[in-house]
Amino acid sequence: MVSTLTTSLADVASSGATLRAFLHGLPGVDRVGADQRAAMLGTRSIKTTAKAHAIDLAISMVDLTTLEGADTPGKVRAMCAKAVHPGDGAPRVAAVCVYPDLVAVAAEALAGSGVKVASVATAFPSGRSSLEVKVSDTALAVAAGADEIDMVIDRGAFLSGDYTKVYEEIVAVKAACGDAHLKVILETGELSTYDNVRRASWLAMLAGADFIKTSTGKVSPAATPSVTLVMLEAVRDFRDRTGRQVGVKPAGGIRTTKDAIKNLVLVNEIAGDDWLTPEWFRLGASSVLNDLLMQRQKLATGRYAGPDYFTLD
């Protein structure tokens, strides 16, 4: 258990050596056990009123996202309208996530709605840029109206063992966020092992992350149930150790209502129901919203909507 670690968290980042010793002193992840438990929890069946509640909860946790080179102000405004009123009395989503240059468009469209404006920054999705550019990218997005920043870590630095560089970049970006929340993207598909996922999770939380996020959605595999399980264990153990709660955001590959509900089961069973709110758990997906809305209508009316009933994102 994490509680057996004796290093004072206040001193963990005092040097590269102490940071490395702490991260490599974390308990190893039983890969087979993690895969088996995630698969077992994925077989849980939720029916009728519980399923209806789960669908609405999942909708309220969606970060509706468009991160394409062809994004336009019109597309972002349409997405914002859908975020506020998904349809048929469904709850609004948690946030709309866009590139920094479109933050002002989203902020104007979402003003007063309660839907957050999120923006990727720090040379998303590669993270290959100078710290000065990353901090400037973040500051410009916040100044334009972003409530949340989704940053990417330097996976090259992490994989080469330069944990101090990754830590210091997160600290600097967090400072540039001001009052905006910081989600730190680990890009777990490039981290190779579950031990690395656990280490990166703790590294991000120690540096001040408000959320840890699996993926950019640009790399496969993305948000696998096993990786999400490991990250949920990390935030649970981190709160036990520090008293500070950190959110989790799986992103990429979540396309169906079944996928979304599997994630909610993982949250409840691994971290606990304190995380079962949009404040502490998000689903980074866009295609899943239409499926959630279709399943919601099926529960309410007994029939599925036609393929052109909901807008395409």
The residues annotated as belonging to the active site are 150, 213, 249
DSSP code at position 277: S
Cα–Cα distance, 142 to 100 (Å, whole number): 9
3-state helix, strand, coil in the chain (%, to 5): 55, 10, 35
Contact (Cβ atoms closer than 8 angstroms) between residue 172 and residue 181: no
Cα–Cα distance, 253 to 283 (Å, whole number): 10
Cα–Cα distance, 276 to 236 (Å, whole number): 13
**DSSP string for residues in 101-163:** GGHHHHHHHHTTSSPEEEEE-SSTTTT-S-HHHHHHHHHHHHHTT-SEEEEE--HHHHHTT-H
One-letter identity of residue 196: N
DSSP code at position 281: B
What are 162's two structure tokens?
Answer: 């330069």
Helix (H) or strand (E) holding 63: strand 62-65
The strand pairing partners of 152, in sequence order, are 185
One-letter identity of residue 305: A
